[in-house]
Amino acid sequence: MLRVGLTGGYATGKSHVGELLAGFGCHLIRADDLGHQVLAPGAEAYAAVIEAFAGSILKEDGSIDRKALGAIVFRDPDKLAALNALVHPPVWARQERLIQEFEKTDPGGIVIVEAAIHFETGGCRMYQKMIVTVCGAQEQIRRAMARDGLDREKVLDRIRRQMPLEEKARLADFVIDTSGTREETRRQTRLVWEQLRTIKAA
């Protein structure tokens, strides 16, 4: 099974590209969904994260308030690193189990793992190929403001805290520019999928 990482900058359309690839027949895993799962009450990272960040991140029902947790780690690189060290190993373990399940039923298939920080965590080493989504800077800002309800300065702050988009693109095997129409994004994504199928068959 060909393992492919999918990442990109904030609000550059990686989830949309992931959906397109799934529509073409790829198996899609979203790391963010697995992150939600390992933080659920009783799950692998739940107790350790509560111990590390105290009760202020708990909701009344005992679940972890991801917004409160995000607010704590967003501006503190050390706390973010500590959170990642607790969350990423069980996420990667779940991811590996899913890939093995896909491989049993579709050994010649393609699995796409979508995550925002493949390069930053070193998770990119798990994949044979990497896809990066990009778009123009102003389009990225506009999308983020519209999607997340943030003002321009908050969006720019989030963008600055990520690996520069140009660097991600340089590290990629495939780059999909989502600045244009959805049809143009679909066309580019299909071309990438066709190339991945060729690699898979080699």
Q: What is the pLDDT of residue 143?
A: 94
Q: pTM of the full predicted structure?
A: 0.92
| d(C-alpha 57, C-alpha 137), whole Å | 33
Write down the pLDDT at residue 70.
86
| Cβ neighbour number for residue 59 with a 10 Å cutoff | 10
In this predicted model, which residue has the larger pLDDT, 184 or 56? 184
Q: Which pLDDT score is estimated for 161?
A: 84
* Pairing of the two strands 110-114 and 174-177: unpaired
Q: How far is CA 194 from CA 165, 189, 197, in A?
A: 24, 9, 5
Same domain, 4 and 45: no
Looking at residue 45, its pLDDT comes to: 96
What is the span of the domain harbouring residue 52? 31-107
The chain-wide mean pLDDT, for the chain, equals 93
pLDDT, position 77 = 86
201 pLDDT more than 70:
no
Is pLDDT of 78 > 60?
Answer: yes
Say whether both 148 and 59 belong to one domain: no
Contact 144, 155 (CB under 8 A): yes
φ and ψ at residue 116, rounded to 5 degrees: -75, -25
Is the domain of 118 the same as that of 190?
Answer: yes
Instruction: Please give the structure tokens belonging to residue 89.
Output: 């190993």
Single residue among 85, 107, 129 that ends a domain in this structure: 107
Tell whether 135 and 152 lie within a shared domain.
Answer: yes
Report d(CA 96, CA 50) in Å as an integer: 25
Per the model's pLDDT, the better-predicted residue between 169 and 200 turns out to be 169
pLDDT tier for residue 67 given thresholds of 50, 70 and 90 = confident
The CATH number of whichever domain residue 192 belongs to comes to: 3.40.50.300
pLDDT tens-place string over residues 96-120: 999 999 999 999 999 999 999 999 8
